[in-house]
Amino acid sequence: MSTSSFLDKTIEGLNSKGFILEYTTDKYNEHNIVIDAKNALEVVQYLNAELGYNFLVDLTGSHYPDKENQEYQVVFHIQNLIENTRLRFKSNLSKNLMEFPSLTPVFSAANWMERETFDFFGIQFIGHPDLRRILNVDDMDYHPMRKEYALEDETRRDKNDTFFGR
Amino acid sequence: MSELEVNKKYNVQVSTETIDGEIATLNLGPTHPATHGIFQNVLKVDGERILHAEQTVGYIHRAFEKLAERRPYNQITPITDRLNYCSSPINNLGWHMTVEKLIGAEMPKRVDYMRVIVMELSRIADHLVCNSVIGVDTGALTGFTYMFQEREKIYDLFEEICGARLTTNVGRIGGFDRDFSPEFYSKLKTFLKEFPKNFDEFGSLLERNRIFMDRTIGAGPISAERALNYSFAGPNLRAAGVDYDVRVMKPYSSYQDFDFNIPVGTEGDTYDRFMVRQQEIRESLKIIHQALDNMPSGDYYADIPSFYLPPKEEVYRSMEALIYHFKIVMGETPIPVGEVYHSVEGGNGELGYYLVSDGGRNPYRLHFRRPCFIYYQAYPEMIKGSLLSDAILTMSSMNVIAGELDA
């Protein structure tokens, strides 16, 4: 089966279950699928069991403070090694409900990836066996990859970023 | 052989002779001469038998992803050096390719081939460290001393390309900063002539050595299913019997032009990981030979003036070159909005870059898929029930690099 027809089959299958909120293929030929956070575990279980997506490439988060009610995003890449098809899934989360189902029942690899995402963004992974900080110190009381934490100390006055800062 | 019984709490078989009902807690690390890097493992042991292990990571976390959000694209390359510092050039070039993918730049074939040579050399250096250290951890120091001499020669080659040895910062977005020098080619030819002989000597010390085989076969095994479930990649996954290699599955930098084999193991134990790396070194040599023989003529950089620094003489003479120079150095190049995921086959497996650009001078979000971080989770499962000395061996054969683990 060629890669594109397998991809069509995947999209069809996901569509028939009503999982896809938005599907785009971008100019880099990467396939972006937006799903609802509460369906994420079912989506992954379906892909893994029915369509042989057996490799969780990566899971991470990002923060878009300007998007109202979609401030946080969980992004994961999942790949079928036999058909060589990689998909990127995204779920938008509101800052008022930062919950995402843990993918650990399907992929053991999700364990630390989710801990890392929790550590840096504060996204709660429901059903995770051991959701603790992983790279930062345990008693840290904030999630440093959020955009409100500028890299440099904002109280400093000796640096002028007017021209070259973001 | 003494009788075995199952410890009920940890579900591990332990010898009846050693049981006195006492389980000791042992801190292996954070700094320990047998772990090569800053790793802490809190072990629950019954005698020498490991019942339970728990890792602590993050001792050298340097916030690379946060740092990257305030740096122009060019200035992120030195950060990537410090991920897997045993094979920095792969990290550098992987990052360059990610940015090139984002801006849609096509590289000339010559750049691709030059990159392949650099990347395969660093793969050899990376595997040499890992394999010779497996020897050290089994008590065979000799091979280590010989192979580190060879690794020094590879570092000499890197020095000839870019001036640096360990943290190379090699190449640029859009190619290389200069062509390979004639000295580089002559050194590389000498290396290619002498290395296989010395390497085979190293191989003959360990590959079919009865003591080494008894020591490593069956130590720290993992099945193909579990390895996939843990998203293993690279030599560790291939040792378990899954032939996944990014160079073949999603070819980048013209890897489709080369003829090479992907060695796979069967058991996923320390011996298989060692042998897969040994064989990969030989395949890498094949690739370097092919790249050298078929090196295309042409430029060592792509024609993308808004990203690739103009030659210094031009900057002093021409207005355009001066403007480009200023814009690139100040990070004012037009970056398209978009997001890409690009991965390369690093020394330890799929090294991925997830890059989100909002058109600004720095990435909006950059995430490194670090193979070490992902497969090191499986360590407790792999060493459960084994001896303490096997645990050390398992760690070194997985090639866990602290820099890549903690980012």
Model confidence over B81-121: pLDDT tens digits?
999 999 999 999 999 999 999 999 999 999 999 999 999 99
The mean pLDDT value of chain B amounts to 90
One domain, residues B133 and B69: yes
Question: Beta strand pairing status for A55-63 and A72-80?
Answer: antiparallel
User: Chain A: residue nearest B230 by CA?
Assistant: A109
User: Chain A: residue nearest B407 by CA?
Assistant: A135
Read off the pLDDT of residues A123-152 as tens digits, 9 standing for 90 and up. 999 999 999 999 999 898 889 999 888 876
| pLDDT band at B37; cut points 50, 70, 90 | confident
* B340: nearest CB among A28, A107, A166: A28
The answer to whether residues B249 and B350 touch, using CB atoms and an 8 Å cutoff, is: no
Q: What would the mean pLDDT of B12-39 be, rounded to a whole number?
A: 77
Tell me the residue range of the domain where B45 lies. Answer: 4-56
One domain, residues B69 and B31: no
A159 touching chain B per CB within 8 A? no
In angstroms, the separation between the Cα of residue B7 and the nearest Cα of chain A is: 23
Question: Beta strand pairing status for B40-46 and A31-35?
Answer: unpaired
B41: its two tokens: 């493992």
Domains identified in chain B, total number: 2
One domain, residues B192 and B115: yes
In angstroms, the separation between the Cα of residue A161 and the nearest Cα of chain B is: 11
One domain, residues B166 and B293: yes
| Contact pairs from chain A to chain B, CB under 8 Å | 92
Side-chain-facing half-sphere of B370: CA atoms under 13 Å: 28
One domain, residues B110 and B157: yes
One domain, residues B143 and B171: yes
One domain, residues B23 and B44: yes
Chain A environment of B69 (Cβ under 8 Å): 151
What percent of chain A stands above pLDDT 70? Answer: 89
CB contact under 8 A, B343 and A57: yes
Q: Which helix (H) or strand (E) holds A90?
A: strand A85-93
State residue B20's pLDDT score: 64
In angstroms, the separation between the Cα of residue B66 and the nearest Cα of chain A is: 6
State residue B16's pLDDT score: 65
User: How far is residue B88 CA from its own chain's centroid?
Assistant: 8
Q: What would the mean pLDDT of B254-278 be, rounded to a whole number?
A: 94
A146 touching chain B per CB within 8 A? no
One domain, residues B116 and B199: yes
Rounding to the nearest 10 degrees, give the CA dihedral for residues B276, B277, B281, B283. 30
Q: Which residue of B231, B329, B406 is the best one to mutate when testing the A interface, meaning the one whose CB has the most A CBs within 10 A?
A: B231
Chain B environment of A123 (Cβ under 8 Å): none
A144 touching chain B per CB within 8 A? yes
| pLDDT band at B253; cut points 50, 70, 90 | very high
* A60: nearest CB among B250, B367, B377: B367
Alpha carbons B190 and B195: distance in angstroms, whole number: 8
User: Chain A: residue nearest B101 by CA?
Assistant: A28
A132 touching chain B per CB within 8 A? no
A72: its two tokens: 């946080």
Strands (E), B209-362: 337-346, 349-358
Strand A55-63: give its sheet, edge to edge: A20-25, A31-35, A85-93, A72-80, A55-63
Alpha carbons B57 and B50: distance in angstroms, whole number: 19
Above 50 in pLDDT, residue B13? yes
Closest of B399, B238, B398 to residue A81, by C-alpha? B238
Name the more confident of B245 and B333. B245
Q: Which helix (H) or strand (E) holds B381?
A: helix B379-383
One domain, residues B335 and B395: yes
B247: its two tokens: 């160079």
The CATH code of the domain that includes B167 is 1.10.645.10
Domains recognised in chain A with CATH numbers? 3-126 (3.30.460.80)
Alpha carbons B97 and B343: distance in angstroms, whole number: 9
Chain A environment of B244 (Cβ under 8 Å): 55, 81
Chain B environment of A30 (Cβ under 8 Å): 339-341
User: Three-state SS for A89?
Assistant: strand
State residue A166's pLDDT score: 44
> Which ipTM did the prediction report?
0.91
One domain, residues B108 and B174: yes
Alpha carbons A110 and A100: distance in angstroms, whole number: 12
Alpha carbons B41 and B24: distance in angstroms, whole number: 13
Above 80 in pLDDT, residue B4? no
One domain, residues B25 and B76: no
The answer to whether residues B288 and B123 touch, using CB atoms and an 8 Å cutoff, is: no
Q: What would the mean pLDDT of A23-36 be, rounded to a whole number?
A: 92
* A108: nearest CB among B229, B339, B350: B229
User: How far is residue B377 CA from its own chain's centroid?
Assistant: 17
One domain, residues B40 and B77: no
Closest of A107, A103, A31, A45 to residue A74, by C-alpha? A103
Above 60 in pLDDT, residue A1? no
Q: What would the mean pLDDT of A102-125 be, rounded to a whole number?
A: 94
User: Three-state SS for B336?
Assistant: coil
Read off the pLDDT of residues B276-292 as tens digits, 9 standing for 90 and up. 999 999 999 999 999 99
